[in-house]
Amino acid sequence: MTGLPWVRIYPDRQVLGHAAARDIAAELRRLLDGQDKVRILFASAPSQYETLTALCAEPGIDWRRISAFQLDEYLGLSPDAPQRFGRWLRRTLFDRVPVGEVNLMDSTDDIDGLLADYAGKLSEAPIDIACLGLGVNGHLAFNDPAVADFHDPLAVKVVDLDEVSRQQQVDDECFTTIDDVPRQAVTLTIPTLLTARRIFCVVPGSPKARAVRAALLDALSTESPGTILRTHPGCVLYLDRDSALEVRQEIAG
């Protein structure tokens, strides 16, 4: 724990993942006790693997009453490309638990139709939970600094990916070279993410240390999109020792 009640630091990413999964599962159980369905947004990245794997093993969750949405998806990849975020979520989560409704982004055909359809589905009812990560450039979903808008009028949009974001995909071993990484993606916008009643933001690893410092200590700005998390009353940020390396002294209480 830390001096900031919404920031939690754990010894390593495995312990972090299990702790975050326990908290997400507890919130899912609480919500399912009082409402028919729960709507949840899921990030797709190696940084989320331990959390989602542990979440699959959590008991007492009626996954049949859960509607799941992905945060973002590449443009320009074939439907069967292993790097597609929808395929990653299926392998990691949706093929392992009986989720009642899975809403994936089909970004291979009619993009305008996808944007309208996905925005429509998101607007049908409130979003209960968002499971997020944080990019090395501070991005949330694929809202890189150049395209992030804290007052975006859109729910879903097409964005150009900056070089830092694309290089992260190589460093995460999702692609071999940066030339293989698509230059565009579909993403939920920041205001859409912030509509979630609870946000669980899982950020392990030393490559994220600078972005974590910016998110916690820099002025509120789209130059570091993660700073907006400080405005959300229901957000918890999960760090390991590596990702907290640059902030442990500042936030210790």
Helix (H, G, I), strand (E, B) or coil at 156: strand
Choice among 11-15, 151-155, 247-251 with the minimum mean pLDDT: 247-251
How much is the average pLDDT of 59-81?
A: 95
- Give residue 186's identity as a one-letter amino acid code: V
Q: Using CA atoms, how far apart are residues 79 and 104, in angstroms rounded to an integer?
A: 12
Band (79; pLDDT cuts 50, 70, 90): confident
Per the CB < 8 A criterion, the answer to whether 69 and 129 are in contact is no
How much is the average pLDDT of 36-42?
A: 98
Count the neighbouring beta carbons within 10 Å of the beta carbon of residue 184.
15
Count the neighbouring beta carbons within 10 Å of the beta carbon of residue 9.
18
The confidence score (pLDDT) of residue 4 equals 64
How much is the average pLDDT of 111-137?
A: 96
Q: Which residue has the tokens 């690893």?
A: 205
Model pLDDT for residues 80-107, shown as the tens digit of each residue: 899 999 999 999 999 999 999 999 998 7
Per the CB < 8 A criterion, the answer to whether 132 and 35 are in contact is no
Band (3; pLDDT cuts 50, 70, 90): very low
Q: Using CA atoms, how far apart are residues 17 and 173, in angstroms rounded to an integer?
A: 20
- Contacts of the segment 83-86: beta carbons below 8 A, 24+ positions apart: 83/169, 83/174, 83/175, 85/44, 86/44
The confidence score (pLDDT) of residue 1 equals 36
Write down the mean pLDDT value for the chain. 94
